[in-house]
Structure 1
Amino acid sequence: MGSQTHADSVRSEAGTVVTDSEKSHSNEMNSSSSAAIAKTSSTSLPQKTEYIEQVDPSDQKIEVDTINQSSVSIKSSKSSNHGKLDPGPPQLTDQGVVTLPFKQLIVVFIGLMLGVFLSSLDQTIINVCTNKIASEFNSLTEIPWVGTAYLLTSTCFQPLYGKFSDIFGRKPTFLFSITVFLVGSALCGAAQSMIMLIVARGIAGIGAGGIMSMVMIIITDIVSLRDRGKYQGMIGAVFGLSSVIGPLLGGVFTDKASWRWAFFINLPIGAITLAVVIKLLHLPHAVGSLGEKIKRIDILGSITLIIGLVMILLPLNWGGSTYEWNSPIIIGLLVGGFAVIGIFLLIEWKQALEPIIPFYLFKTRTNNAVFLTSFFVGMGFFGIMFFMPLYFQIVRQESATASGLEMLPLIVGLLVTSIGSGIMVSKYGQFRPFIWIGLILSTTGTGLLVLLHEDSSRGEIIAYLFINGCGLGFSMQTLMIAIQSAVATKDIAVATANATFFRTVGSVFGVAISGTVFNNAVQKHLSPLILENPAIQIVIADSYKIPSFEPALEAQILHAYMLSLRSAFTICTPFMGLAFICSLAIQHNKLRKSLGPTPME
C-alpha cells in the first residue's frame, strides 16, 4: 500500500497561505503514482527550492520530505503577475498529477467518457418523449416544468462542485454526483404522476450539474497539462455524439417500448461508470474529518447563489412564452435575482473564508477572456442546437428521429476537429490558434445558416452544419486548456467548474434571447395570414397542424416559420462573433509535460 503527504490545515487570508504539514498514510495510492516534493529548511521558502520526484515501485512507497518548520508563510498566486511569473513552487496544499499505468488510464478514461455520455445523453433524449409523457399523465400544461426543474438544479449546483471537490476530494464528489443522478433517473422512470416526475428531474439535475465539471477536473489530476488536449478532445467528441444518439434513442423508446426507458437507460451506463471509478481511480484523499470539511463549506454563499440563479433562470425560461417579458412577475424575479446575486458577491468578497467563486480569479486577463468567451460560445452554440431541429421538424416537416440524423454533419465536424485539435495541442503545445480558428469557423457557419430556405439542397445543409461542427470542435475543449494553464494547481478545480458554469449560463441567456426573437418573428409573419384565416392561429401552439391546411396556405405558413428561424440565426451570429473578439485577449501559457503546477510565461 502507498503513503502520501498531505496538509492538515490550509487558510487563505489577504493573499497569504499558511500551511501546516506532516506525514500521514493513505490506502488510495497506486504503485505508479508520483509526487512533487518541495524541500526547505527555513520558515519561508527560498528562491532556489529543490523539487524532486521519488517513486519506489518495489515497495509501492512515495516519500515526500516535510518542511522542517511546522508553519511557513508563502506568497499566494493571487498576486502573481500573469504572463510573467510562475504561480509559485509546488505546495503541500497542491494536488499534483497522479500518474497511472497506460492500460489503467485508458480504462479509467473510458469510465469518465461514459459519465459524460450519461449526462449529455440525458439532456437530449427526453425532448423526444415529452408529448408521450404529457399524454400519459394528461398534463400538457405542466410538461415544460420537467425541463425547467432539470435546468435550474443542474445550473445552480454546477459552480459548487469545483469547491466541493477541493474540500471532499475529487473521487467522492464525482461518485456523489453520479449516484444522485442515477437516483433521480430511477425515480423519473418510476414516476406515477407529473409532480413526481418534475421533482425527480430536479434531483437528477443536481447530480448532472457536477458530472461534466468533475470529469474535466479529474482529467487534470491524472493527465499532465501538455497531454490534456487529446483527452479533453475525446470528451468533446463524446458530448457531440450523444447529441445525435439521444433523439434517436428517445424516438425508438417512445415508439417501440416506453418513454420510461429514456430514464432507465441511464442505470446500466451509470453502474459501469461507478464500478470503474471505484475500482481503478486512485487519487489523494482530502484531509480532515467530515465535520472539519463541512465547516469549510461556504453555506451562506451557496444558498444565496442558488436562490439568485433560480430567480434569474425562471424568468429567462418563462419570458416570451409563459409570460410577457414586461409582465410584473418576470421583471420582479429578474430584479430580485440580480439583487440576491449582488448579496452573494458581497459574501464571497467580504465574508467567505473559502469562496465558491474566488474574486482573484478575475484579476488576470486570460481568466476573464476565457469566462467571457465561454459565455458567448454557450449563447451561440446552444441557439444553433435548439433551432436547427426546428428547421428540420417544422420547415422541412421531418420527424424528430430524422431531424436527429440530419444533425450528423455537425457532429462529424465536431468529432474530427475535437480529437484532431486535442492531438495537435498535445504535440505542439499551442492552443490559442485552435480557439481562434474554431470561433472564426463557428461565426461563419452560424452566419451561413441565415441563407437556408425551405428548399435548400442537401449539400448546403451538410456544408453549413459541418463548418459549425468544425468550429465548435476546435474551440470548446481548447478553452478548458486555456483556463487550466492560466491558474495555479490549487485553483484548477474551481476555475474549470466556473468555465463550464459560464458556458451553461450563456446557453440559457442565448436560448432566451434568440427564442424571444423567434417567437416575435412568428407572430409578426403569421399575423397577416391569421387575419385572413383565424384557424391558422393553431399552428403557433402546434406546428404539426401545418400540413392540415391546403398546399398554397401551407407554403405560406412554412415561409413565415423560415423567416422567423432566419431571425433566430441572425441573432446567434453576433454571439459567436463576440466570443471570437473576447478570445483574442487569451494569453499563451506553457503546457508542461512534467508533473506539478503550471508555470506561466
Structure 2
Amino acid sequence: MIEAPDSVTITVSNSHEEKEEKVLNKTDSESTIKNNNNEDEKSTLLSFKELMLVFLALLFAVFLSGLDQMIVATCLPKIVSEFNSLDQITWIGTAYLLTSTTSQPISGKISDIFGRKPTFLLAIGTFLIASTLCGASQNMIMLIVFRGLAGLGAGAIVNLLMIIMSDVTSQRDRGKYQGLVGGVWGLSTIVGPLAGGLFSDHLSWRWAFFINLPIGAVTVIIVILYLQLPKPNGSLIEKLKRIDYLGSILVFIGVVCLLLPTNWGGTTYPWNSPQIITLYIVSFIILSILIYVEVKVAAEPIIPAQLFKIRTAVANFIFNLLFGMAFYSMIFYTPLYFQVIKGVSATVSGLLILPLLLGLVLFSLVAGLLTSYTGRVREFIWLGSLISIIGSVLISIYFNTNSTTGQQIGFLLIIGCGFGFVAQTTLLSIQSCVEIEYLATATAMYNFSRVIGGIFGVAILGAVFNGILNEGLSTLYSQLPPGSFDITLAKNDALYLWNISDMQIRQNIMQIYVNALQSAYRVNVPILVCAFLSSLFLKHHVLQKTITK
C-alpha cells in the first residue's frame, strides 16, 4: 500500500465545466477517494451493453438471495412431515443463519485478494451446488448440512453484488441502480412465500431449492461473458499468503458463539442458563482476541482498524445495527399479530404485510433516484429515520384487537416508506466516506452490522414478548377455576386461543397477546430514535460522477 503524503490535492468533478479542489491533511481519515483528472477516470468501466447485462445478472443474484431466504419457510411443514423430525426443524434456519452471517465479513477481503469475478463465481457456484444437494437430501441431517453450505455462498453473494456494483458505477449514478436492487429484493420477499406454498402443495418442497438452478445459471453465464474488471496482481501462491487465516477462523468461531445463544435464549434454553452464559463469555473472549489480531498481528486484516477511525463509517455501522434490529423484528412479529389477533392463515398473514414491503420497494427506488439527482445522501437517511419512528409509534399504539384494515395498511405503509428511504442510502454513505482500498471491507461490514442487528432485534423483542405473555397468562390462570384452559398450550401454541370455546377466556388471552405484542413493538421506538441520533454524526461526502480504475 502506498503511503499518502502529508498533504494531497484532490480534484472532485461537480460538473463538466467546474472543478473544486480541496486540500486534505493526511490526518483527516475521512478523505474522499482520490479522483484525479486523468485517462483512468471514466463514468463506468464497462460499455453500456456490458453494464446493463452485468446489472441484470446482479438483479438475478439479489432475487436469488431474497427468494432463498423466504421460500423455505412455507415448505417447512412438508419437510418435517416427510423426514419425521420436528425436533430438528430450527436447525434448518440456524445453520443457514450462522454460515451466511460469518461469510459476510470474510468475503469482502477475499474479493480484494483474488478479484471480484472469481470470488463471486465461487460464491454463486457454492450456493447452486448446495441448493442441488438440499433438494436431493434424503434425511434432515443432510438437509441441515447442505443448508449451512448454501449459507456460505448466499452471504458472500449479497456482499459481492454490492461491491461489484460499486466497481462498475460511479457514486453519483449508483443510487439509481441500488434503488432497483432494493426493489427486486422486496419483490423476491413477496414471491418467495407464495412460490414455496405452490411448490409444497402442487409439486414438491424440493423445488424450493431446485428453482435456484436456472436463475443462478443465467447469472453465472452473464458474469463469465461480460463482467470484465481489473485483476489483482500476484501469483496464486502470493495471494494465498495474503489471506488472514487466523482472523477468518476467529471471526467464524466468535460469531457462531455469539449467534447461537442469541438464537437459543428464551426458547431452547433460559437466558440465565449455563449454556447461554458460557457461550456469550466464550464469544467475548474470542472477539477480544480477534480485535488484537486485526490491529496488531494481521498484515491484511479482514476487518481493518482504519475503518473505525472514520466518524461516518462508525456512525453508519451503528445506524445499520440499530436499523437491522427494528426492520427484521418488524418483519418477524407482524405476521404473528395477524395470525393470532386477526385469526388468519400464515399465507394470508404474509400477504397482509405487503404494504410494508411495497413501501420499502417504492421508496427505495425513489431514494435512489433522488440521491443520483441531488448528490445528497444523509438528508434522506434522516427523513427515513423520522418516518420510521412515526410508523413504529403508530403500530405500537393502534395494532390491537380493534384496529381497522385501513389503519393496518396505512401504518405498515408509513414504516415501509421510512425503511425504504434508508435501505440503500446508508450503503452510499459508507462507500463515499472510505478510500477505494477499503471499499469492499466497508461494504462487508455494512451488511454484517445490519444482519447482526436483525438477529439481536428479534431476540430482544422475543424476550420482551415472551416475558409479558407468560406473566399475563400465569396471572389469568391463577384467577380462573382449574382447567379453564391449558396454560402450557397457551404459552407455546400461538393459535391455541382459537380452539377455546369460552369466548370470554378467548378474549382475555387475546388481550394478553396484544399487550405482549405492543410491548415488543414499543421497544423499536427507542431503537429507531437511537438510530436517528447516530445518523446525525454522518458527514456529507461528495458523490463522485466518475470512477477510478
Fold conserved (TM > 0.5)? yes
Counterpart residue identity of residue 505, structure 2: L
CA distance, structure 2, for counterparts of residue 159 and residue 191 of structure 1? 29
Counterpart in the other structure of 2:433:
486
Task: Decide whether aligned partners of structure 1 residues 194 and 482 sit closer, same or farther in structure 2, where only a CA change above 3 A counts.
Answer: same
- Residue aligning to 2:491: 540
Query: Contact between 2:6 and 2:26, CA under 8 Å: does it hold in 1?
Result: no
Q: In structure 2, what is the Cα distance between the partners aligned to 1:95 and 1:323?
A: 56
CA distance in 1, matches of 2:486, 2:201: 30
Aligned to 2:16: none
Q: 2:537 & 2:11 partners in 1: Cα distance?
A: 34
* Structure 1 residue corresponding to 2:185, chosen from 227, 232, 239: 239
Tell me how far 1:486 sits from its aligned partner: 0.1
| Structure with more relative contact order (C-alpha pairs < 8 Å, separation 6 or more) | 2
SS in 1 for 2:333: helix
Partner of 2:508: 556
The answer for unaligned runs of 5 or more in structure 2 is 14-23
| Corresponding residue for residue 302 of structure 1 | 248
- Report the counterpart of residue 420 of structure 1 in structure 2: 366
Structure 1 residues 222 and 339: alpha-carbon distance in aligned structure 2, compared to 1, 3 A threshold: same
Question: Matched residues in 2 for 1:91 and 1:311: separation?
Answer: 48
Shift of 1:537: 2.0
- Which residue does 1:409 correspond to in 2? 355
From 537, 543, 549, the equivalent of 1:591 is 543
Q: Which segment is superposed worse, 201-210 or 520-529? A: 520-529
Partner residue in 2 for 1:340: 286
1:291-321: CA deviation from partner (whole Å, max 9, x where unpaired) = 1111100000100111011011000000000
Distance 1:49 1:364, change over 3 A: closer
Distance 2:41 2:69 in 1: 32
Q: Is the contact made by 2:7 and 2:25 (CA closer than 8 Å) also made in structure 1?
A: no
Instruction: For 2:512, give the aligned amino acid.
Output: A
Structure 1 window deviating more from structure 2 (393-402 vs 352-361): it is 393-402
In the TM superposition, residue 553 of structure 1 has moved relative to its aligned partner by 2.6
Cross-structure match for 2:20: none
Choose the corresponding residue for 1:198, options 144, 148, 153: 144
Kindly report which structure 2 residues correspond to 1:215-294, keeping only aligned pairs within 5 A, or say none. 215-294=161-240
Q: 1:232-283 CA distances to partner (integer Å, 9 max, x unpaired)?
A: 1111112222222211112222222222121111111111111111111111
Range with bigger deviation, 251-260 or 573-582: 251-260
2:527 aligned partner: 575
- Equivalent residues of 1:316, 1:508 under 8 A apart: yes
Q: Is it true that 1:429 corresponds to 2:363 in the alignment?
A: no
Displacement after TM superposition at 1:49 (Å): 9.6
Say if 1:79 and 1:91 are closer, same or farther in 2 by CA, change over 3 A: farther
Whether the 8 Å CA contact 1:244–1:407 is kept in 2: the answer is: no
Instruction: Report the CA distance between 1:557 and its aligned residue.
Output: 2.2
Pairwise CA distance, 1:399: 1.5
Residue among 156, 175, 188 paired with 1:210: 156
| Alignment match, 1:349 | 295
Secondary structure of the structure 2 residue equivalent to 1:192: coil
Alpha-carbon contact 1:121-1:246 (below 8 Å) kept: yes
Q: Which residue in the other structure is 1:139 paired with? A: 85
Give the alignment's TM-score, normalised by structure 2.
0.92
1:472 maps to which of 398, 407, 419: 419
Distance 1:112 1:414, change over 3 A: same
Change (3 A) 1:45 1:565: closer
Tell me, yes or no, if the aligned pair for 2:32 and 2:433 is still in contact at 8 Å: no
1:276–1:238 Cα change, 3 Å: same
8 Å CA contact 1:132, 1:254 repeated in 2 = yes
Q: Distance in 2 between matches of 1:47 and 1:307?
A: 41
Does 2:138 match 1:186?
no
SS in 1 for 2:495: helix
1:173 corresponds to 2:119: yes
The residue type equivalent to 2:539 in the other structure is Q
Q: 2:425, 2:545 → 1: CA distance?
A: 16
Q: What's the counterpart of residue 60 of structure 1?
A: none
* Offset of residue 524 of structure 1: 1.4
Cross-structure match for 1:104: 50
For the 8 Å contact 2:388–2:419, the answer to whether it is kept is yes
Distance 1:381 1:370, change over 3 A: same
Q: Secondary structure at the match of 1:227?
A: helix
- Residue 322 of structure 1 corresponds to 268
- Contact 1:95–1:221 (8 Å) recurs in 2: no
* The structure with more helix, counted as a fraction of residues: 2
Compute the RMSD of aligned alpha carbons: 2.4
TM-score by length of 1: 0.85
Alignment partner of 2:486: what SS? helix
Could you say what secondary structure the match of 1:236 adopts?
helix
State the shift of 1:544 in Å. Answer: 3.2
> Cα distance, 1:90 vs. partner?
6.3
Superposition pairs of residues 361-440 of structure 1, within 5 angstroms: 361-440=307-386
Shift of 1:80: 4.2
- AA of the residue aligned to 1:557: I
User: Structure 1 residues 581, 51: closer, same or farther in 2, change over 3 A?
Assistant: closer
Helix, strand or coil at the partner of 1:490: helix
In structure 2, do the counterparts of structure 1 residues 302 and 556 end up closer, same or farther at CA, with 3 Å as the change threshold? same
Deviation by residue 1:470-497 (Cα, 9 ceiling, x = unmatched): 1111012000000111011111111111
Local SS of the residue matching 1:354: coil
In 2 relative to 1, CA 168–398 (structure 1 residues): closer, same or farther, beyond 3 Å? Answer: same
Write the deviation string for residues 52-74 of structure 1: whole angstroms up to 9, x where unpaired: 9xxxxxxxxxxxxxxxxxxxxxx
Letter in 1 for 2:498: P
How far apart, CA to CA, are the structure 1 residues paired with 2:77 and 2:194?
15
The whole-number CA distance in structure 1 between the counterparts of 2:412 and 2:388 is: 10
SS at match of 1:454: coil
The structure-2 alpha-carbon separation of the partners of 1:86 and 1:379, relative to structure 1 and needing over 3 Å to count, comes to closer
**What SS class does the counterpart of residue 543 from structure 1 fall into?**
coil
Compute the displacement of 1:228 (Å): 0.5
Matches within 5 A, 1:476-515: 476-515=423-462
Distance 2:516 2:526 in 1: 17
Greater Cα shift, 353-362 or 103-112? 103-112
Deviation at 1:555, TM superposition (A): 2.4
Aligned to 1:527: 474
Alpha-carbon contact 2:254-2:287 (below 8 Å) kept? yes
Per-residue Cα deviation, 1:412-438 (whole angstroms, up to 9, x for no partner):
211211111111111110111110000
Tell me the equivalent position of 1:36.
Answer: none
Q: Do residues 458 (structure 1) and 376 (structure 2) align? A: no
Compared with structure 1, are the counterparts of its residues 46 and 100 closer, same or farther at alpha carbon in structure 2 (3 Å cutoff)? same
Contact 2:11/2:34, CA 8 A, preserved across alignment: no
Distance in 2 (alpha carbons) for counterparts of 1:539 and 1:237:
39
Q: CA deviation at 1:197?
A: 0.8
Distance in 2, Cα, partners of 1:517 & 1:95: 53
- What percentage of aligned pairs have identical amino acids? 47
One-letter code aligned to 1:339 = I
* SS of corresponding position for 1:572: helix
Match of 1:31 in 2: none
Where does residue 17 of structure 2 map in the other structure?
A: none
Quote the offset at 1:567 in angstroms. 1.3
2:21 aligns with none
Check conservation: 2:6, 2:25, Cα contact below 8 A: no
Q: What runs of 5+ residues in structure 1 fail to find an aligned partner?
A: 1-10, 18-43, 53-76
Q: Equivalents in 2 of 1:591, 1:89: separation in Å? A: 11
